[in-house]
Each structure stands twice: as C-alpha cells, then as structure tokens.
Structure 1
Amino acid sequence: MLLDDTLRHFTAKVGSEAIRVGQALGYTLEEIHHIDPEVIARAGEGDAAARHEYDEHRLAEARKPGGGAHRPSMGQDMMKGRRTEIEFINGFIVDKAKAVGMATPANAALTDIVKRVEKGEIPADPKHIIDLRLNS
C-alpha cells in the first residue's frame, strides 16, 4: 500500500484531517510513525516539502523487511468479510470534525467505501481509493 503513490498520499490526507481535527479539539499530538504530525498534516494538505519528507520516510519504512508488504488489520477484516472498526476510527473523526465545523472528505470517503464493502455493495479493492478525486 505504501509503495503506491496514490494510496500513500491518501493516507497523508486521512492523517492530515485527523490531526487537524485533534488540534481543533485541543489535543497536542506526538510523533506518528516517527513523523512529526505537522509534517503529515502539511503533506496531506499538499505542501510539496512536507509531502517529500513524508514520502521519503514512509517509503523507507515500506522497504524494510515486512514493512510494505503487510495488509493493515482493517484491510484483513474486509478481505475476510468481517465487520471493521471503521465507525470507531475514521467515522469518529468525521463526527468530531462536524462538531467543530470542519470537513474531512478523505475520512468520510474512506468510511463510506468500507461500509459499502461490509454491506457487500462493492468488493474490497484499493481501486476504490485510487479512483477518488481527492487524490492529487
């Protein structure tokens, strides 16, 4: 997943939205995957220097033994037809964002895609994220 530019940039958008919502709620965040949260936030917002730093770090992590070849637990649940924790993670971000007047389109789209997979409306496939117009 991290080796694909579109998917990696989408993870930055999802993270960026979550970070900004947390900040709006008064949280002080620590490093995430050994990256300053401000770098992730700016990368997800399109800052070229931050995106480069984010990409370099995440690609280095992905190239470590087992680093990029695993499927996250939510993806494993989806592939096995199990219910995921999407509502309690990304759905939670969407709800908290609404409460403070913020939009979180990447988290909302991800939540919608996963819920549709859970209902059997669409197959579990990264193409649903790749096809989003949120990816730039």
Structure 2
Amino acid sequence: MKPRIAIVGAGAVGGYAGSYMAAAGEDVTFIDPWPEHVEAMRANGLRVTHLRDVAEFTTPVRAIHLTELQNEAKGRPFDIAFICMKSYDTEWATVMIRQYLAPGGFCVSLQNCMNEETIAGVVGWGRVLGTIASSITVELMVPGNIHRNSGKGGAAHTVYRVGEPHGRPTERAKEIVRLCALSDSATLTENLWGERWSKLVTNVMGNGMSACTGL
C-alpha cells in the first residue's frame, strides 16, 4: 500500500513537489487555506509551467480547504505530512495535522528557515525530517497555477537535500528522497543543519535587498 501523503500548504514549493507526486500516482492530499486556490485545483487540476526546457502539464489532484480537514478523521491517517507553510505558520499547521498522522507517521519540513525544532515541539524529534529546496525558484501567482522561473536542476544542481536531524541515513529519509526526486534531483544528506545554514546564508545575502527594491 502506498503511503498516504499530506501537503500542508499547497503553495509554490508544496504545490510543485506535490504535483509531481500526484502525477506519478502517489496518494496525495493537498491542504491549503486559500479558498480560490483549492477550488481551482478541484475544478481544473494543478497546472505546472517552467521558464524553459520542460513542457507544461496539468494533473488532477485531491485538494481540501483546511477547514475541511476534520473530515479526514473518517479515512486512513496520513503516513507523511509535508509542512510547506510560511515559517510563522509552522506551529499551528503542525498542531492541526498532528491528530491525523498514523502512529508511525511523521512530518517533513519542506520550507525555508529552520523549522524542525518548532515541528518537534509539537510531534517530537522522532517524527521530524527536513528537506531543503535549493534554487527551486517557484511561484504561485494565480490559483491552480504554479510557475518555475527556470528549468530543472537535474545533474547540474541538486535541488532537494533530505535529512534526519540526527544525521543518520534512514529508510524513511530515503523514501522522502524518492518522492522529491519525482520533481527534480534529490539526495540524502547526513548534514541537514549544514544544508540549512548554507541556505539561510544565501537567502540573507539577497532577500533583504530584493524586498527593499522590489526586485
């Protein structure tokens, strides 16, 4: 039986990675607070485009508004919950999904910044993994439409770096690598915190100036 996957926050990053999982036949449920986005995904599927080299596609997805999550109590619990919200929404989003996790289920922080500790404060360190999305350059400007402002990273640049907080390779981390690799290059790292700090330093160099100048 395939793992049941929740994408908590079907924005640019979560929607992009999740769309490829859904297109590959994985059991994925998208959970999002933006009503228009949820309705667009339900009606038309999730459309993904790239700046170059990759043909656009649209895949049917199962999407629910976060206010409908209580209905999931009637079904099979989630084995994997990708937390893809903004950092300031991490804690409440994890609290929200926690009760719908399977006994052996766990959360994956697919976010910028360092949110593993926040998630662990809700579900415990044994139920947390981290994933860095490097130079993924995706955006969600129109409901139901995700655009990547580049082509694929592929062999030239490893986009997803998946790791356990303790650094040891595990079977569940390898499973997350497999899922992420459906959308672009992915690898297992034994240095999650080093990857996190590297991404943070890179963001600090450019994000502030971009915000100030509107670039």
User: Which one scores higher on RCO, CA 8 angstroms, separation ≥ 6?
Assistant: 1
Larger CA Rg, structure 1 vs 2: 2
TM-score of the aligned structures, taking structure 2 as reference length: 0.28
- The structure in which a higher percent of residues are strand is 2
- The structure in which a higher percent of residues are helix is 1
TM-score of the aligned structures, taking structure 1 as reference length: 0.38
